[in-house]
Amino acid sequence: MHYDCINGSHGLPHDPFKAIVAPRPIGWIGSKGKSGIQNLAPYSYFNAVADKPHFIMFSSVGIKDSVKNSEETGVFTFSLATEKLFDAMNGSSVQAAYNVDEFKLTNLAYSQGKYVDAPYVKDSPAALECKYWKTIDMPGANRSKGTGTYVILGQVVGIFINDSFIKEGLFDASEARPLVRLGYMNYGVVGKENTFTKNRPQLDKEGNLMEINEWDGKYR
């Protein structure tokens, strides 16, 4: 099938777009309002966008608490959402009033950032502490009504890693078992059973692809 995303209709029970662009990392964003009330919310429109310097993004449909807090205070955190923390992550997605602390709501312990004044999930294997950089108001966004989509970008200024997930000097993501978002109400888990290591190829003297099976520690 083909369908026109602008003027047409897919004719299916649900838009398949998010099921096609999958898996997506879950950005578990921690923030604090000027009043001191903490907030924790998951975003599946989330990813890293640069590593020199380190930048991440999350986008919100509507000006939700994470957007408001990040813009007001200039900081936020990301906590790695994992299989063991699924119920808490799912619980923190509830549409709650601004004065509701999702850490308390989901019975999650938290730690305050070392480099920014925002909370992250204490039991998460890793967390990123970020300084808010800017918001991109996507086409159709209306701030006066709080509608539309808003992309928040932040620079990572500090990283926490639980030492038990560092194996031979590398962060063992498969051991951490991160959650990923699929389409509809579906989720997945990244684990040793579905990951593998393979280096990128090089070109030989004749200009042909030359396979390098084992990773030699060099990024190409």
Quote the tokens at residue 204.
Answer: 């030989």
* Distance between CA atoms of residues 89 and 40, nearest Å: 9
Domain 19-177 has CATH 2.30.110.10: yes
* Domain residue ranges in the chain: 19-177
Provide the whole-model pTM.
0.94
Residues 6+ apart with CB under 8 A from 118: 30, 31, 32, 69, 73, 75, 76, 77, 112, 129
pLDDT, tens only, 108-157: 999 999 999 999 999 999 999 999 999 999 999 999 999 999 999 999 99
161-180 pLDDT per residue, tens = 999 999 999 999 999 999 99
Show the tokens assigned to 89: 């992550």
Closest by Cα among 85, 86, 70 to 34: 70
Between 68 and 197, name the one with better pLDDT: 68
Measure Cα distances from 139 to 44, 134, 136 in Å: 20, 16, 9
